[in-house]
A and B are shown apart, each in its own frame.
Chain A
């Protein structure tokens, strides 16, 4: 039996909004530590991993491990029916064939209730080791989104070069080339607007911009984003949430000098 109550429906709403364009159907694995999700896109070059800790819910109750196989498009349709500030309660049986969602609006005593049919999804779970990344860049998520959007107008892929001086996003395409360089910088007034670079060795990797743009849909989840890079290892793009995280992994482009 799962019963989990979110203070704000928008948390789940934003998470699903961010990943529904990357994966179609996936399992929400519920256990006593919270709700996890891990899924790959259709091409299997990107992976999304989400964790919503039990302390993000009040109350949270999950007696047994439950996998909720959901079509994210369907889930989004239901989530759109609730307002951002609504209380959202998720309920499911131990062997569920549907997930029950209840939106409660404290402002006008409105309660709406939905059931989504679940499906059996056979997904393999990948073990993601803890990695010491060569470069860890923290920057405002809006800034990262803007860079990706601007550069994607020019090219399919972007090279991210991290040195001790800063990080340089560069691309070149048919119409020309472009680059955005960020230097480490600390905003005293607002920590979230700082650029931080932790570097053990310089790295330079190329990634598909379309995927990065896709990841940036999670920008509303967090004011900052963390990019972790190492040679020959997938890029990690992490958005921290109050009680959890949303992480995207993307395989670098190798040997593609176009």
Chain B
């Protein structure tokens, strides 16, 4: 049933993830997964009951409108008691205060795995502004007489037919939520939150005990709150620290100091595992970017391609796309990573919908023999996955990491391939330009960045601006038929500028 919900969303308009981050490694370093797969889907039906809960946290009063969260899994017996707190911590990458969810099941529950992740980041899957929708939340009804109604409980309201709507609104606990964003919580390795502090000048020189470490942290009060909310977290944090720190024992206390070597080893292993586990939606896109142009003989395919492009989501998925090529440069900062994530998130929705989506169609153009050797593809995957990590790392650590990574995995083959690709594409572009010169479509349209409508709109806007400056007389004169009249320059020659 939940699967169905997601598919509905995907078939209509793909959601767009607008938060800065998309994927995060869990404590388990071997299998990075994407947000959607990661979260234990539970609780869509739990949210409304919580809304009516009289013991709800004070935050709920501030948030005037209810919102839909997908929360970490909780054992059924714990679900009744609130076990989540939202805390604001500085984002490790940019220091912007960001909200994190602390998941702290009541200590009574013995079944709780003590090493389970306890800090979750909150991702907002945004509703697209041009396709307004809302949530309809109803209790988890058993599939009954009207078979359709219960299976579409979370479907946007506009898609509801009259019958199920009337039925569900008559149910006492159902609820329509205007804010159609979906908030996902995904586990976050607390190391990332500690890293900026660990690597700071002050702390990186001396061995510090765990308590001192947290005490000296600029947000120490928040951390002590986390520890008090979730006592096992102290244990988890220390064990996580072991992986990146040198330690000395002072009595029965362990002292920690950041070891950059260890940190890099850990991070590189994460980059590698992300690179190996990129979702097919993303790898397809990467291979499309890496594939050689198919050449002029396929100019009809090109045409089709660009048509497809207009209908596809980002408008930026053309085969020839230098703007996207640049995205792959590691040095490009947040924005490429951001858009990458967004694209990925939207593709993710498409992924499990049926095969006849535009994206699927366009990938068939990527021919196997046009692809680079697997090593090069892997290098490119690495450079993509490091961008995911970049979102969680302080700038200096990121730059040293990317340096390190390029020594472990030399980038030259990829660079060489890109060079080659660039020249091939330039040639193909020139050929297309030539073969399409009779059609209205211009090279820029193919090159992406701006979709054709954008270009036209831009032109229109410019023309309007120009027109505003012209007097009516000038405009009238422009319409005059000047056939058979020679230009003034044919009679009078330009004077040499004095």
Contact = CB atoms under 8 A, between A and B. Distances in A.
A125 B494 contact: yes
A251 B486 contact: yes
A252 B494 contact: no
Given A251-B486, A253-B485, A43 B471 contact: no
B354 interface: no
Given A208-B481, A252-B485, A254-B486, A47 B492 contact: yes
A44 B495 contact: no
A16 to B, nearest CB: 11
Interface in B466-488: 469-474, 476-478, 480-488
A251 B491 contact: yes
Contacts of B483: 253, 256
Interface centre among B469, B481, B492 (most CB of A within 10 A): B492
Interface in A31-88: 40-47, 71-73, 76
B172 interface: no
Contacts of A208: 480-482, 485
Nearest to A124: B494
Interface string A204-230: 000010110010000000000000000
A13 interface: no
B477 A43 contact: yes
A15 interface: no
B472 A21 contact: yes
B130 interface: no
A214 B488 CA distance: 17
**Chain A residues touching B, majority SS:** loop
A255 B473 contact: no
B492 to A, nearest CB: 4
A17 B477 CA distance: 15
B142 interface: no
A210 B479 CA distance: 10
Contacts of B485: 43, 45, 208, 250-254
Highest count of chain A CB atoms <10 Å: which of B473, B478, B487, B489: B473
B493 to A, nearest CB: 6
A23 B474 contact: yes
Contacts of A129: 492
Nearest to B468: A73
B478 A43 contact: yes
Interface residues of A, number: 39
B374 interface: no
A211 B477 contact: yes
Interface residues of B, number: 26
A135 interface: no
B497 interface: yes
Contact of A21 (B471, B493, B495): B471
A20 B471 contact: yes
Contact of B495 (A127, A233, A251): A127
Contact of A214 (B473, B491, B493): B473
A42 B487 contact: no
B484 A256 contact: yes
A255 B492 contact: no
Contacts of B471: 20-21, 24, 72-73, 76
A208 B482 CA distance: 8
Contacts of B476: 21, 210
A126 B493 contact: yes
Contact of B473 (A21, A126, A254): A21
B470 A24 contact: yes
A40 B469 contact: no
Contacts of A156: 480-481
A167 interface: no
A68 to B, nearest CB: 17
A175 interface: no
A94 B495 CA distance: 23
Given A20-B473, A210-B477, A46 B488 contact: yes
A49 to B, nearest CB: 10
Contacts of A126: 488-489, 492-495
Contacts of B484: 253-256
Which of A21, A214, A254 has the largest number of chain B CB atoms within 10 A? A21
Contacts of A43: 477-478, 480, 482, 485
Interface centre among B471, B485, B487 (most CB of A within 10 A): B485
A125 B497 contact: yes
Contacts of A234: 488, 491
Nearest to A45: B485
Contact of A125 (B472, B480, B491, B495): B495
A255 B483 CA distance: 9
Nearest to B488: A47
B469 A24 contact: yes
Contacts of A24: 469-471, 474
Nearest to A249: B488
A24 B465 CA distance: 13
B482 to A, nearest CB: 5
Contact of B493 (A47, A127, A211): A127
B469 A45 contact: no
A249 B488 CA distance: 8
A22 interface: yes
Contacts of B488: 40, 44-47, 126, 234, 249, 251
Contact of A45 (B487, B493, B495, B497): B487
A23 B477 CA distance: 10
A188 interface: no
Contacts of B492: 47, 126-129, 249
B480 A211 contact: yes
A196 to B, nearest CB: 25
Nearest to B498: A65
A25 B470 CA distance: 9
Nearest to A217: B473
Nearest to A126: B492
B220 to A, nearest CB: 57
Interface of B: 469-474, 476-478, 480-495, 497
Given A124-B494, A210-B477, A211-B477, 12 more contacts: A20-B474, A22-B473, A23-B474, A41-B474, A43-B478, A44-B489, A47-B488, A128-B492, A208-B481, A234-B488, A250-B485, A253-B484
The 5 closest A-B pairs by CB, nearest first: A21-B473, A256-B484, A126-B492, A127-B495, A251-B485
